[in-house]
Chain A
Amino acid sequence: GAGVSQSPSNKVTEKGKDVELRCDPISGHTALYWYRQSLGQGLEFLIYFQGNSAPDKSGLPSDRFSAERTGGSVSTLTIQRTQQEDSAVYLCASSLYPGRPYEQYFGPGTRLTVT
């Protein structure tokens, strides 16, 4: 079946511009996570959605970052007024249900380059 998909695969933007990154989780997966993979920082958790509950935003690095998940499925991560330090690969993952030993399935990522 279809895995987690993300778009775009690559995004180059100028400093100060806003960007939107999209994630389509596996159908039926209730939990969705965003992570960031950057040189020197490894993989960092950003935000977590579970069903219709309020998201856990504890990993967002600044208020320039926000995310939403519409209809319990597709999620969009928005970065406003991008900075060069935002350059990274943004990974989305989904799992069947949190709090249980279900595997998180990762998408291919969006490589963001801020010039």
Chain B
Amino acid sequence: GDSVTQMEGPVTLSEEACLTINCTYTATGYPSLFWYVQYPGEGLQLLLKATKADDKGSNKGFEATYRKETTSFHLEKGSVQVSDSAVYFCALTYYGGSQGNLIFGKGTKLSVKP
């Protein structure tokens, strides 16, 4: 079945460091890919998405490119801030069908130190 694998955390960085959180997927079709973020004490919210190969999703300085050839969707940010401390989830779903439930990775906790 379809699945998402993302790097285990926790990840601890100093402010202004570069961030990469790896995400790879296994899919039977052509899914859309997402990064969701869960800030401490808050609900899960969409960070960015890409709906087809070679698309780049971006938001709040974060970027991820849908790489079909490597089945990857790595999350990157050039300079992290303390406020980026959160748990990040990579996910996939299919559009065009009738369901659309998200399949999530296990999450990566990011802690950014001042």
Taking a contact as CB atoms under 8 Å apart, the answer to whether B89 and A56 are in contact is: no
Bound Cα distance from A42 to B95, whole angstroms: 23
Q: Is A25 an interface residue (CB 8 A)?
A: no
CA of A43 to CA of B99 in the docked complex: distance in angstroms?
17
Chain B at the A interface: SS class: loop
Q: Say yes or no: is B98 at the interface (Cβ < 8 Å to chain A).
A: yes
CB contacts (< 8 Å) of A98 on chain B: these are 97-100
A106 touches B45 (CB 8 A): yes
Task: Provide a sorted-by-A list of 20 A–B residue pairs whose CB atoms are within 8 angstroms.
Answer: A3-B43, A33-B101, A33-B102, A35-B102, A35-B104, A41-B106, A42-B89, A42-B105, A42-B107, A43-B104, A91-B43, A93-B102, A98-B100, A99-B99, A101-B32, A101-B49, A104-B46, A104-B100, A106-B43, A108-B42
Sorted nearest first, the 5 A-B pairs with minimum C-beta distance are A42-B106, A43-B104, A98-B100, A106-B44, A45-B101
Residues of A that sit less than 8 Å from B by CB? 3-4, 31, 33, 35, 41-45, 48, 50, 56, 59, 91, 93, 95, 98-101, 103-104, 106-109
- If A35-B104, A98-B98, A108-B43 are given as contacts, then 9 extra A-B residue pairs at C-beta distance below 8 Å, sorted by A number, are A43-B91, A43-B104, A98-B100, A99-B96, A99-B98, A101-B51, A101-B95, A104-B102, A107-B43
